Structure formats: C-alpha cells, structure tokens
C-alpha cells in the first residue's frame, strides 16, 4: 500500500537516524520478517563490525520470525542478527527461534543498559501498553550520548494542504477499500484494524511527549508522505 516507499523509510531510519558505529549493539523491536534487522546487520558489516549477534530482533509472532530467520540466512547474516520471540513491554525473557522455526526454552533477554541503539518500525502503534514499552526501551538502553531510539510509525495527517488531505483520505477511505477488494468482499479485518489503529495513535507532538515521559526526549521528528509516516529520533535523558 505504500507503493514500495516503506523500504525507503526503513533505510532512512537505519542510515540517518541510528547513526550506527562498528561496535554498536542494536535492538530491533517488532522486527516482523527482519527487514530492519537485516538492513542494520548489512550496515554493521559494511562498517567492519565484528561483534557476534550484534543485532537482536524481537517479535511476538512465530510465523513472522520463521520467515525472518530464512531471510537472515539468505543474506549471510546468521552470526550478526539473532531473532527471538519476545514482548516489547517486557524484554527480560525471550525465546530463541531456530532455522526450522522451532522455539527454544525461555532464556534471558535484554539486560539493563545493554544496547546502544533501538529501532522499531510500524510496531509501537500495536503495543497494548505503550508507556510500559517505552519505559522498557529506556531500561535496556545504554545512557551514553551516542545512544539512540528510532521509531517509525504511521499517523493521521493533520495538515490542510491538498496533499495532506489526500493522504488523510487514503488512510480513512482507500485503505478499507483495498481490504474489501483484496479479500473479495469477505473480510478485510486486518485493513480495518490498520485504519482504526492509525486513528487512535497520538499526533506526533503528543507521542513525543510520551517519549519524554519515559526519559527519552525527542531530538527530531521527520515526516514522510505528507505526515502519514513519522520518524522519531530520541536519546536517553
């Protein structure tokens, strides 16, 4: 539905927002099928990183992780990217998933101040307790000045320009129609949920205040698609 622009947005997050260094330890939340984890792993490899399992990708979905593991292997990043099943609201325990999609026993997850960079793309909107997830990010983030939290998320455009109104109409009118057509009129619940979740998500400045309340002050908000997508860059207070 983004006409392929989502890959550009993710690449911008990795290249510009995270400000990766060779020795960084990166936590990618809501990793899904590991698109961002793979981009981070590739960038770290380009920078000459030698840290094993430098990227920890976390997601609650077994099937998404199974596909992600296959993609990590296809890109030759098995020793750089590790995918686990976990909850962004509580990262103290996780479950490792192997190449066959089998989950291991629960094991220790992210320790306090154990990661340098955190990324999350199109996931914070779906977390039941957003404040808890943001506090958990702050707990595991190293407090150094070089640490970063980069969150990419959808929101309802609020501008009154023609293109902003067009982007707003796309979310409220076209997305449900795409769902109806894609499911041949028999469902489309996922698309309806997408629209509802975007409508419920805070406006950019309101979400920035939520980050501030979690001791993650926002340094910059970068908007794409006339305000339909925003990239939040935060650092530990």
User: Read out DSSP for 3-21?
Assistant: TTHHHHHHHHIIIIIS---
User: Do residues 85 and 101 touch, judged by C-beta distance below 8 A?
Assistant: no
Q: Are 94 and 85 in contact (CB under 8 A)?
A: yes
Q: Phi and psi of 27, rounded to 5°?
A: -110, 120
Distance CA 171, CA 167 (A): 7
- Per-residue pLDDT in tens (0 to 9) along the chain, 237 residues: 555 677 888 999 999 999 999 999 999 999 999 999 999 999 999 999 888 899 999 999 999 999 999 999 999 999 999 999 999 999 999 998 876 777 777 888 999 999 999 999 999 999 999 999 999 999 999 999 999 999 999 887 776 665 555 555 655 655 454 544 554 555 556 656 766 777 789 999 999 999 999 999 999 999 987 778 899 999 998
pTM as predicted: 0.87
Lateral strand order in the sheet of 218-224: 103-108, 90-97, 81-87, 55-59, 26-29, 117-121, 148-154, 229-234, 218-224
């Amino acid at each position: 539905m983004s006409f392929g622009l989502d890959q550009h947005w993710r690449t911008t997050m990795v290249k510009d927002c995270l400000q990766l260094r060779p020795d960084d330890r990166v936590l990618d939340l809501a990793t899904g099928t590991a698109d961002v984890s793979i981009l981070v792993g590739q960038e770290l490899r380009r920078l000459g990183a030698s840290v094993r399992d430098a990227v920890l990708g976390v997601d609650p979905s077994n099937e998404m992780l199974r596909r992600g593991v296959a993609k990590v292997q296809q890109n030759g990043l098995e020793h750089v990217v590790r995918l686990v099943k976990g909850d962004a609201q509580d990262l103290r325990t996780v479950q490792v998933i192997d190449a066959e999609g089998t989950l291991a026993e629960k094991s220790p997850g992210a320790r306090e101040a154990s990661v340098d960079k955190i990324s999350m793309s199109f996931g914070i909107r779906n977390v039941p307790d957003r404040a808890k997830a943001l506090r958990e990010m702050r707990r595991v983030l190293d407090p150094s000045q070089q640490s970063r939290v980069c969150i990419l998320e959808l929101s309802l455009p609020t501008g009154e320009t023609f293109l902003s109104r067009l982007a707003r109409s796309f979310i409220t009118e076209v997305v449900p129609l795409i769902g109806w057509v894609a499911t041949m009129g028999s469902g489309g619940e996922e698309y309806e949920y997408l629209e509802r979740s975007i409508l419920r998500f805070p406006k950019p400045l309101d979400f920035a205040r939520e980050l501030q309340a979690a001791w993650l002050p926002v340094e910059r908000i970068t908007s794409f698609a006339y305000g339909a997508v925003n990239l939040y860059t935060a650092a530990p207070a």
